[in-house]
Structures are given as structure tokens and as C-alpha cells.
Amino acid sequence: MSLAVLALILFVSIFLLVLYGYPVAFTLGGLSLIYAFCFLDAAVLTLLPNRVMGVMENSVLLAVPLFIFMGIMLEKSGLAERMLNSMASLFGGVRGGMAVSVIIVGALLAASTGIVGATVITMGLISLPPMLRQGYPPTVATGVIAASGTLGQIIPPSVVLVLLGSVLQVSVGSLFRAALYPSLLLVGAYVVYILALGYLRPRVFPLPEGARARWDKELWIKALQSLLLPLLLIIAVLGSILAGVASPTEAAGVGAAGAVLLTATQGRLDWSVTKLVCRDTTHLTSMVFMILLGATTFSLVFRELGGDRFLVSLIERSDLPEYQFLALVMVVVFIAGFFIDFIEIVFIIVPVVTPVFVAYGTDLIWLGILLGINLQTSFLSPPFGFALFYLKGVAPPEVTTAHLYRGIIPFLIIQVLLLAVVVFYPEWLGVRG
């Protein structure tokens, strides 16, 4: 049996063990080391310490714990609830106005935090009960919350894009810049869908008795005040990256400090909150970096076995066109998202297929955006979409899993259409020149 075939068996074995429930980091690193001891020269393992130190010295990856800290701190600040109340009052007389408010606030939270779990749980807690009380069908209410909560996968600054930039070895700032227009188009498509649904089927969005659209100056000032602080934070973080003033890591540091200040301005910053945020940040960061170190070991062994060269030669011999291979990868990533977390997909699947795309001459920035949108879509997809599980955990008992599954279908269709637009017309959105 050739070493290249062993490399593919290693990949499949790891994938199956992860699906079975074994810890990802130790499965990646442990099984790769076993294969290296059994089938490779022991001298290969002397390369591993340099690889590990290269990961630990990567300054771009410092943005990961800083963005995680920023997201968790903002979750505790109470800004989301304040923004939602202001927006709901502003659109109170518009059919679907509360749903539109949830989408807008979800997008702002996504741009501020980039953490799907935190956004979905926060929006579920503060917006699902009032939507149900107003008479929204559970399918519509849960669909809106789950879809808007997962915008953090693609709206920069996104932890997913930071990790993809590291694995694809492309500029994180370029990924952020390329993701801007597709993410805005997605938010706009969600809003248009809700307004169209309210126009075509007004019974879906009942209005409270005596409700009317309020456009008075005082209400606008209140709404803008509630949005001002998060917008300033977004501009400070994302604007500095896009303008080239700061690197993603430096901007993440500014964002983390800004999140602390915003929480303090809301009167929510105390020792217990700080301790909780630091604990959760350490937990999530440790998980990410343990998986990253395991993935580094896997990548080294896979390449020394000749797995990447074998895949490239296999695709070349099959004469598979670039777009057909892209479609195959997108389907695999989409299905994998049913079962495993996006971090595991980024570190297991993406490094394996990247050399093939490099051989095709594929624009890796474009590929990174496609993967980000695809991972976001998989977060919403029944039966195992993680966003649906997060929302179900905070939903009242009368909201069933069937409600979540049915409610998310229109938003999945919108995301698939966006994915198609980015695939076939990337120049329209500035994703590829």
C-alpha cells in the first residue's frame, strides 16, 4: 500500500472518529503521531517543534482570543437589549417591524462579536418572548432569530475568517474586505424577505392594537443613541483594518478594550462579570489552539505521506474541472457542518483541499468567502444545525424542534442563492477582481 493511500486513510479515520465523538484536538494529533511512528522515518517528527512554534508565533492568531473576549464582554453589556427595544419602537407600526429589528440588531452584534453561539442565545432570550407575545408564528420568529444570529460567521470581523485566513495563508484584512458586500447583501435580502412576507401575508405579522409607525424626532434620537456605541466600536475595529491603519490583531486589541469600556458605560462591569468573561475566553481560546496544534501535526504527517500531492495528481488525472471540484468540496463542507463544528472543518478539511485549489490557480480570497458562507449555511441546516440547538436551549417549551426546522428553510434558500451569486458573479460584489 502506498504512503499516499495511507494519507487518505488517515484523513478518513480522523473524520470518522470525530463524528463518533472523540475529542478533536487529541484525535488529530494522536492518530497522526501513530501513523508517523508506524509508516514514516522518525526524523520527520523533528520538524514538528518548529511547526508548533511557527503557530504559536503567528501574530495574526492573537486576534482570536481578543475577538472572543470582545464578543463575550459585549454579550454581558446589555447593549443588545437596548438596541432591540429602540429599533422595535421605531418600526412598531410596520408589519414585520420587530423581525426587521431583530435582523438589524443581529447584524450589528455579529459585526461587534463574531461569535454565533453568543449572538443566537442573546437574541433568543431578549427577542423570542416578545415576538411570540405579539402573535408571530413560532416558525417565523425562530427562523429570523437563528438566521440573524449566524451572521457572525460571515460579517467581519469574524473568527471564522481569521482562522480561514491562517489556514489558506491569505491576508485576513483582504478576507474582511471581500466579505463586506456579500454580508450586507445577505442582511438586505433577509429584510426584503420579511417586508415582502408582511405585505403578501399580513396575518403572519399581527400589529398590536393602536400600533403605528413612529418617526418622530425624539424616537429617532433615542434609536441612534442606542446604536451609536456599537457603531463606534465597529468603525474602530473594522474601519482600522480596511483602511490599513491597523492589523487584525491590533484592531482586535482595540475592540477588546472598547468592549470593556462599553460594558462599563452600561453599568454592567464588575468583578463577577470580568471573571466570567475571562474564564469563558480562556476556555474557548484553549479549545481553538489545542485543535490548531493537533491540526498542525496532522498537516505535517499528511503532507509527508504525500497526501496533498496524491490528491492533486488524482484530480489532474480525472480531468475534473475547477467548478466541479469546487461543487464537490462545498457539498462535503455543507454536510460536515451537520455534524461537526466549524473550527474542526477549517482545520481538517480545508488544509487537505487547499493544495488542489492552488494547483487550479483558484483565487483563495474568493474561496475563503465561499467557505465562510457555506459554513454559515451549515450552522442553520437541519437536522444538526448548531444555531438551532442554541436557540432551542433558550426557547419556551411550546416552541418545538419542528418549528425551528420549518422556520429556517426560507433563510437557507436565501443563503444558497447568495452562495450561487458569489460563485458565478464574484466581480459584482468585489470578491474577486
Cα torsion 326, 153, 138, 136 to 10°: value is -120
pLDDT, tens only, 390-401: 788 778 888 888
What is the tens place of the pLDDT at every residue in 298-333? 878 887 888 777 777 776 677 778 889 899 888 888
How far is Cα 140 from Cα 219, in angstroms, rounded to an integer? 27
**Domain span at 254:** 3-429
Residue 201's alpha-carbon distances to 127, 204, 206, in angstroms, are 22, 6, 10
Give the model confidence (pLDDT) of 234-243 as tens digits.
Answer: 788 878 877 7
CA neighbor of 375 nearest in space, from 406, 330, 413: 330
| Average pLDDT value for the chain | 82
- pLDDT beyond 90 at 144: yes
For residue 237, count other CB atoms closer than 10 A to its CB: 30
Distance CA 260, CA 386 (A): 28
Domain count, the chain: 1
Whether residue 211 is predicted with pLDDT greater than 60 in this model: the reply is no
Prediction pTM value: 0.79
Q: Kindly list the distances between the CA atom of residue 417 and the CA atoms of 106, 377, 382, 399, in Å, as whole numbers in the listed order.
A: 21, 11, 18, 28
38: nearest Cα among 14, 15, 7, 16: 7
Cα dist from 98 to 226, 228, 334, 405, whole Å: 16, 20, 30, 21
Q: Are 308 and 355 in contact (CB under 8 A)?
A: yes
Residue 128 has pLDDT above 80, yes or no: yes
Q: Which residues are CB-neighbours of 329 under 8 A, at least 6 positions away?
A: 349, 353
Distance (Å, rounded) from C-alpha 135 to C-alpha 149? Answer: 21
**248: CB partners within 8 A, 6+ apart:** 60, 63, 157, 162, 172, 173, 176, 241
Q: For residue 371, what pLDDT band results from cuts at 50, 70 and 90?
A: very high
Backbone φ and ψ of 155, nearest 5°:
-75, 120
